[in-house]
Every structure is written in C-alpha cells, then in structure tokens.
Amino acid sequence: MTQERVLLTGASGFIAKHVALQLLDAGYRVRGTVRTAEKGEKLRRTLAENGADVSQLEIVSADLMRDDGWDEAAAGCDLVCHMASPLPLRQPRDRQALVPAAKGGAVRVVEAAARAGARRLVMTSSVAAMSYGHGKEHSGTIGEADWSNVEASDISPYAISKTEAEAAAWKAAKVGGLDMVSINPVLVVGPLLDDEAGASMQLVRLMMRGRMPAVPDIASGFVDVRDVAAAHVAALTAEGAVGRRFLLSAGTLSLLEFGKAIGEAVPDYGDKMPRFVLPNFVVRLAALVSSDARSVVGELGRGKTLVCDPAKAMLGFAPRGPKDAIAAAARSLRDKGAVH
C-alpha cells in the first residue's frame, strides 16, 4: 500500500469528492483543501459514509485568491491534484470575472507544489479550454493541441477562465520544473456522494425541475464522474502522461437526447423533459440580454469530433456510455432529494 501523500485542492467539489474517495481506496494519504471548516467537516462525513478510510484524510483551509496557506498545504506532498476553480451556476456579465480566482489560483498551487518538491501535478481543466471561440471555421475535430480563442466575442466567461488558468499553469510548471498533466473533461455527470448538487449537475437538475421546456440546437459531450476521477488517479503515475492534455468524453448527445435519457431513467419526471428545439434566431435574440444564452450562441448547430484516444491508451480510460452516466445522475438527484 502506498504511503504517498496527495494534495487535493477544492476537495469538496463534485468531481473532487470522487477523486478523494478513489485516492483513499487506493491507499494514498490525502490532504484536501477547502475554503471553510464547515465544508471540511461535511467532506469527511461524506467520504466516511461512502466507505473511505478517513484516518488517511487531512483537511486544511486555503483560498485561491490568497497566497496564505498554499506552501503549508503543499509541504510534504508527493503528488498534487489541482481541482479548485470557480464554476458559477450562471455566467457573469463580466468576461473576466472568473479569471482572477481560476488563473491566479492555478499559479499559486503550481508554484507551491514546485517549491514543495512535488513529483507531479495533475490539473482539472476542461474541454472549455480547447474547443470554444472558433466559430464555423474550426475543423470540428478537437484534441489536445487545440486551445479556445479567448478573444472571440461569443466565448463564455467560464471558458475564458479555464483557458487562461490552464495556460498559466503550464507556464508556471515549466518555470518551476514541475511535471504536469491536464485532464480536460466534457460535461461531467453521474452519481452524487451526498445531497450537494454542484454546478456541473445543474443541467440535469433544471430539466428534472421542468425549467427547460425547450432547448437550443446544441450538442455536448458527457462523461461519468467516476470515470473522470479514475483518469485523475491514473494520471498521477501513468508513464508518458507528463506534458499531455487528456480530453475525456464518453459520447455526444443533443440536449433533446439528453432530456430523453433523463426521462427514461426516472420516468416520474418524464413529463418535465424538453419537448422541442428552439429556433436559432430565438437563441440569438435572447443572447442580446442574457449572458447564459450568449455563452451558447457559438455552439448552435455545430458538431464536434472529440479525440479521446490518448486517454484510452495512457490512462486506461474506458468510460461508461453517456446515457448510463446521465441515468446515474438523474437517479442520484432523485434519491438524494436534491432535485428541488
């Protein structure tokens, strides 16, 4: 059993809780950062309730916007999973609103990890750092060499923050001589470990609440949180992974197909699922006043081919199908009482 210690930033997040569970199950010692003591206490309870040996879990406080605490958090850690990043329920109007925490926080963590002598850092990035802001001119095939265009008028504040944060982390890792890997998943869904539905599960939740009777003509990749967590754990030690950006997707569905998959998984909610697709001009009109609508305009009617072969070859990424992941998410929200 390994006695290596992993620093896990943003440990109370939806994906991070699954990473913490898998790390503890694999025998790692985990030092998780949270912003408040209350979040730390709930994290410990959640992991214990899901069978983890929480005697190997240490919880410390640290904030992405502050320098204080990061050197202490990284001290004695062999490996780092940097997962903390702002993910709002709604897109802010200010394009740069999320950048200070995402980018500044990433640099703080990378630099602290380098000073602590950590062997490798795995960063949770996103497909949002790869595929946005290119319009119809892009080939439609997205892989690890692709970066989102943060200067585009139709790119979302979230995509800007993820792109700038990842780019800054790579630069800081190079300066600090730290081996780095990035994990770039599509929309992450799947089972909750407690009753806290994070922002990445909001699309499932909104549909189950009947808040989306119609959807725009866009498609998205989906992937199960358990498979994303497993990729993070594998990336900590996988040979050949250093310097790579791993795109993770189990498959692509339109939003109408997404709703249908929810309805099939939880039939009692079937009548709340979207029934038709909004005309593109309606979405473009809404984008004049809505930052959420503005964030999807560039994706209207656009198909993408997501290249996940490197993750399959190097990280053993063998994901559940997207409908299985969506079904697990919907049933979990229902069973945990987290729909309303």
Residues tagged active-site: 162
Distance between CA atoms of 42 and 53, rounded to whole angstroms?
15
Q: Do residues 57 and 23 touch, judged by C-beta distance below 8 A?
A: no
Distance between CA atoms of 17 and 10, rounded to whole angstroms?
9
**3-state secondary structure string, the chain?**
CCCCEEEEECCCCHHHHHHHHHHHHCCCEEEEEECCHHHHHHHHHHHHHCCCCHHHEEEEECCCCCCCCHHHHHCCCCEEEECCCCCCCCCCCCCCCCHHHHHHHHHHHHHHHHHHCCCEEEEECCHHHCCCCCHHHCCCEECCCCCCCCCCCCCCHHHHHHHHHHHHHHHHHHHHCCEEEEEEECEEECCCCCCCCCHHHHHHHHHHCCCCCEECCCEEEEEEHHHHHHHHHHHCCCCCCCCCEEEECCEEEEHHHHHHHHHHHCHHHHHHCCCEECCHHHHHHHCCCCHHHHCCHHHCCCCCEECCHHHHHHHCCCCCCHHHHHHHHHHHHHHCCCCC
